[in-house]
Structure 1
Amino acid sequence: MTMKTILFSFSLIIALAQYSCNSASTGKSGQEGQATVNTSLKTDEFEKKLLATEGGQLIDVRTPEEFAVNHLANATNMDFNGDDFAEKIKTLDRNKPVFVYCLSGGRSSSAASQLAEAGFKEVYNMAGGMLNWQSEGKAVVTGEAPQKTSGMTAADFSKLTSSKEYVLVDFNATWCGPCKAIAPMLESFASKRKDKLLLAKIDVDMNSELAQAKGINSIPYLELYKNGKLVWKRVGSLDEETLLRETGL
């Protein structure tokens, strides 16, 4: 190999590396090669951006049952976990901004990524979802379905958390993957300490008023009560070792 060939090859490698870096700096690209906006916004920012955007497409990615109870005004329901989600998003305009939300932000975050990968140019996810939206007192549209019962009252909850020396409260939802993942561990943990510990599972969908009153905007969410007094709380997944270390049980 001549010196001229070596120099040419080295220059080509540098040029390709620079191109790769420049391409990466523009963010994820859509199917037409244009930069795609895929970002999460706090509820106030999400609301302002939606109102200021002409032709914005608002998508509720919860289940039809959740949507039927309540939803944001002018939202269209496309169940992210439904078999037809990929087909339904094809009915949207890829060149117009899409706004997505769910109950707590998990499903909508995944949906936003799928939309960006499908070539949508602007995708906005509402961080904290409907839990945050409602905890801030923002308006929702009541659906045609019969309203779910408000669930457990504050008095009921107080009675529950005082029913044993220790009460571990697991706030969850049927659609929540991380909630399902830690459920067996929580049950095993409680079973080993059943003489002094009660595990109470509370579905935030079925107990929306309690969840709103407690300001719960992300699940799984755990609380530990000792003789009726809150002594520990945690948002998110964890393993048994961490639970033991943090609670001291």
Structure 2
Amino acid sequence: MNAGLGTTRYLGDMNERGDLAHLRLGVAMGIAAAYRFSDRFTFRAEAQLYYIHGSQQDTHLSYNNLSFRSLNPEIWAGVQMDLWHPDDRNHIIIPYVMAGVGFTCITPKTTYKGQTYSLAPLHTEGVDYNRLPVILRYGIGVPIVAGERFKWHLEGVYTHVLSDYVDDVSTVYPDRSRMEPLAAALSDRRLELGKTPNLAGAKRGNNTRRDGYFILSARLIWVVSTAKQQHYRRSRRG
């Protein structure tokens, strides 16, 4: 069993990937269960809650004035593989890699005139997108402190979302004249900056690259003692 707490960074249409001055970090927490079924391979299943946010402020698209934030749940399952055998005496620290698949529920929101609004129901691009997309997770972990029953690990994991609407931005601006006033206002927020709204069909996002998020977390692992494990420990000490 293990539990983790870490920081998130969203990667999508509302940030600059190389802009280290505006990381817009969030937070994530999760619990997981893992079962080692061979010397180097472990099955793992996890439930997690993560907060991400983004804004076009301080980017090359700041004149469009879009922003979002999300507190989302996710579940996933996959496999961990130790890079070396646990009995390898040539390596004091044995890192591991992981990969898995699951689902997340995306809930982009924003603030407008002091009120918070959920963006997905407003169809800000004129489409009803899937709010329960598949996710692909892959990353690496490193044991920091290891005892017989409790361990501390550091993990870095990237989650690739099979959707481009994590941030409610993907393709082009719709025809605002056919939208409800609130939906139109949140679809194109240039008016708040005193600028002319974009024309229908103008580029709003980059749909050639799916959204995702990176999580760096510290994890506390509790090793559940079993008769088989106790026998294994005794055999190693002997």
Structure 2 length as normaliser, TM-score?
0.19
Structure number having the greater helix percentage: 1
Greater RCO (Cα-Cα under 8 Å, separation 6 or more) = 2
Structure number having the greater strand percentage: 2
